[in-house]
A and B are shown apart, each in its own frame.
Chain A
């Protein structure tokens, strides 16, 4: 659950940072670069602690799930942003000039020419991030989000069946991530054919 909600958040936010970064307005691009580098430089666990334990001190009270979503979402938006940026920057200038030469506005160029091509380029690293996000969702157990790792730990502690429970937990992650891996590979193939 926390994976899906933070995936949605990080994708949109990541795209937003990437668009700021590649815009020709220097201030915006610098703000985006600073944010992305700061977030990438701080461990996710520390960010989660910060959101869950420090924010309440200034009056922002969040549930564990909300804090987990926001924490993972923001952390991954930085990685997603880099993936999108690489995709956008890989587009040949000739593409943009061709679009300009038929009278497209900046907005049309982005939505009709640059982004559709950038997404294709970004898909493999995006898929990679998606799988890492799924696994990093286990870190939210540290702020008591009831996800697979935390649940396994609790069950193991009460039943003393460490081997069985944690093996099942590991299999649980695999069962979720393998289909994702295959899905991304299939999407890549489909784009290749086009």
Chain B
């Protein structure tokens, strides 16, 4: 489903990715681990075109990822992303955050989007926070809202970019639990993480990245 071939990326003279090849199949949970600065997040950002790449190619369901073409919108509406720093929209309530994509990007019926948005909030255990603004939530709650926002797009896969790295230790568990449930339900997930326990327990496959190359699969 996601296919990366010989991916190269440099920031200035700093070569971050030096020929990455990776296949993610439907329903697979793939964890990418490795030291800071090894290019883990950059791989994710290349998959949905938040970052351009220099050489090689990445495809989603056959569609070539290219920031300059209209196809990028198709890719982004089919691949969701969860960020390290949550990046919720602070001027919108929790529910509004969740339905923003369905209503304004996918042009779904608002009433239906709200219904589904509430279901999703229920699924991440935040049904009672629908009308609250994000700044009233804890980090763990914010990240769960971000996961609900990602799910609301009904994506083929979700990219998780260090989803628990910005959280206080006692809040990590609630986010990992939600992710574990998603994995059990068959969601395709690409997870950049430092949580070795989670990787070992939940992932179908773990790749280890160091200095821009995959050293262990």
Known: A102-B153, A108-B105. A97 touches B87 (CB 8 A): yes
Nearest CB of B to A106, in Å: 10
Q: In the complex, A98→B87 CA distance in Å?
A: 6
Known: A97-B83, A194-B133. A103 touches B89 (CB 8 A): no
Q: For residue B91, which residues in chain A have a CB less than 8 angstroms away from its CB?
A: 116-117, 120, 194
Q: In the complex, A112→B101 CA distance in Å?
A: 11
Q: For residue A112, which residues in chain B have a CB less than 8 angstroms away from its CB?
A: 100, 104
Q: In the complex, A100→B83 CA distance in Å?
A: 12
Docked-complex contact A103 and B87, CB < 8 angstroms: no
Q: For residue B133, which residues in chain A have a CB less than 8 angstroms away from its CB?
A: 194
Please classify the interface of chain B as helix (H, G, I), strand (E, B), loop, or mixed, using the class held by over half of its residues: loop
Docked-complex contact A100 and B89, CB < 8 angstroms: no
Q: For residue B89, which residues in chain A have a CB less than 8 angstroms away from its CB?
A: 95, 98-99, 113
Q: In the complex, A116→B77 CA distance in Å?
A: 23
Which residues 30-86 of B sit at the A interface, judged by CB distance below 8 A? 48-50, 73-74, 76-77, 80-81, 83, 85
A side interface size, CB within 8 A: 19
Docked-complex contact A102 and B90, CB < 8 angstroms: no
Docked-complex contact B87 and A102, CB < 8 angstroms: no
Q: In the complex, A118→B157 CA distance in Å?
A: 32
Q: For residue B90, which residues in chain A have a CB less than 8 angstroms away from its CB?
A: 117
Docked-complex contact A103 and B85, CB < 8 angstroms: no
Flag whether A94 is at the interface (Cβ < 8 A): yes
Q: In the complex, A95→B85 CA distance in Å?
A: 10
A85-100 toward B: CB 8 Å interface, digit per residue (1/0)?
0000000101101111
Docked-complex contact B80 and A102, CB < 8 angstroms: yes
Flag whether A156 is at the interface (Cβ < 8 A): no
Flag whether B17 is at the interface (Cβ < 8 A): no
Nearest CB of B to A125, in Å: 18
The listed residue (B50, B83, B153) touching A103 by CB distance below 8 A is: B153
Nearest CB of B to A101, in Å: 4
Please classify the interface of chain A as helix (H, G, I), strand (E, B), loop, or mixed, using the class held by over half of its residues: helix
Flag whether A146 is at the interface (Cβ < 8 A): no
Flag whether B149 is at the interface (Cβ < 8 A): yes
Q: For residue A120, which residues in chain B have a CB less than 8 angstroms away from its CB?
A: 91
The listed residue (B80, B85, B106) touching A101 by CB distance below 8 A is: B80
Flag whether A104 is at the interface (Cβ < 8 A): yes
Docked-complex contact B73 and A102, CB < 8 angstroms: no
Q: In the complex, A101→B85 CA distance in Å?
A: 14
Q: Which residues of B contact A (CB under 8 A)?
A: 48-50, 73-74, 76-77, 80-81, 83, 85, 87-91, 100-101, 104-106, 133, 149, 153
- The 6 closest A-B CB pairs, nearest first, are A98-B87, A102-B101, A103-B77, A103-B76, A94-B87, A101-B81
Known A99-B89, A120-B91, A194-B91; 10 more pairs at CB < 8 Å: A92-B87, A97-B50, A97-B83, A100-B50, A101-B50, A101-B81, A102-B76, A102-B101, A102-B149, A194-B133
12 A-B contact pairs sorted by A residue (CB < 8 Å) = A92-B87, A99-B89, A100-B50, A100-B76, A101-B76, A101-B80, A102-B105, A103-B73, A103-B74, A104-B101, A104-B105, A108-B105
